[in-house]
A = this chain, B = another copy of it.
Amino acid sequence: MSVRLGLNDFIACCGSTKFAEQMVADGPFATYDEAVVAARNIWFNKVDVHGWLEAFAAHPQIGQNPSSVAHKSSTSAQLHLQFSFFLSLWSKGEQSAALATATDSTLQELYEWNSQYKQKFGFVFLICASGRSTPEILTELKRRFSNRPIVELEIASQEQIKITELRLHKLFTNTSIQDQKS
């Protein structure tokens, strides 16, 4: 039995059009493991730097919406809501550690460092937040900020594939449940 996944399913896992098209071309995949092998090969060998940047740009950033968070006076509720959105794109249930440890001051600091990060590197800070607390995410952001752009590009690509794998896993799990029900 193969899991039937379409272009939009793969786009939801990784926002590179080339990635999603190639996953459709290489599929269908009988198991999650088969899909991951294909995904890693496509992401690292076939998607070029423009495709990587396209995938990175598909991620929301804390403070991304200028109408709601344009400056330091953002309300606590706005920051928490945006942080929840930032995390919610990742696999359900993986965001509890970060949400439980998010305070106004750490979120405000995260927002400010995110802006500096994007200004230096040209894309949003990407991290697979699974199991990480908000202070841990902030520490990692500060540490990575001193990297050279080419180094950070490669780290971001590694984080992106981890996120993609979590999302693929969720897709395969959901599809399996639906298959069992039908």
User: Within 8 Å CB of A148, what residues of B?
Assistant: 44-45
Say how far A58's CB is from chain B's closest CB, in angstroms: 16
Contact with B along A40-57 (1 / 0, CB 8 A): 000011011111110000
Residue A6 is within 8 A (CB to CB) of chain B in the complex: no
Interface residues of A in 144-177 (CB under 8 A from B): 148-150, 153-154, 157
Residue A120 is within 8 A (CB to CB) of chain B in the complex: yes
Consensus secondary structure, chain A interface? helix
In angstroms, Cα B149 to Cα A157, docked, is: 12
Selected contact of A53 from candidates B49, B154, B157, CB within 8 Å: B49
Could you say how many copies of this chain the assembly holds? Answer: 2
User: Within 8 Å CB of A122, what residues of B?
Assistant: 48-51
Residue A121 is within 8 A (CB to CB) of chain B in the complex: yes
Say how far A21's CB is from chain B's closest CB, in angstroms: 14
A149 touches B48 (CB 8 A): yes
In angstroms, Cα B76 to Cα A49, docked, is: 34
Say how far A56's CB is from chain B's closest CB, in angstroms: 10
In angstroms, Cα B152 to Cα A150, docked, is: 12
Contact with B along A2-41 (1 / 0, CB 8 A): 0000000000000000000000000000000000000000
In angstroms, Cα B45 to Cα A156, docked, is: 17
A49 touches B157 (CB 8 A): no
Say how far A146's CB is from chain B's closest CB, in angstroms: 10
Scoring A122, A154, A157 by chain B CB atoms within 10 A of each residue's CB, the highest score goes to A122
Which residue of B has the minimal Cβ distance to A119?
B48
Q: Which 9 A-B pairs have the closest CB atoms?
A: A48-B122, A50-B122, A48-B149, A48-B121, A49-B153, A45-B148, A150-B154, A44-B148, A49-B122
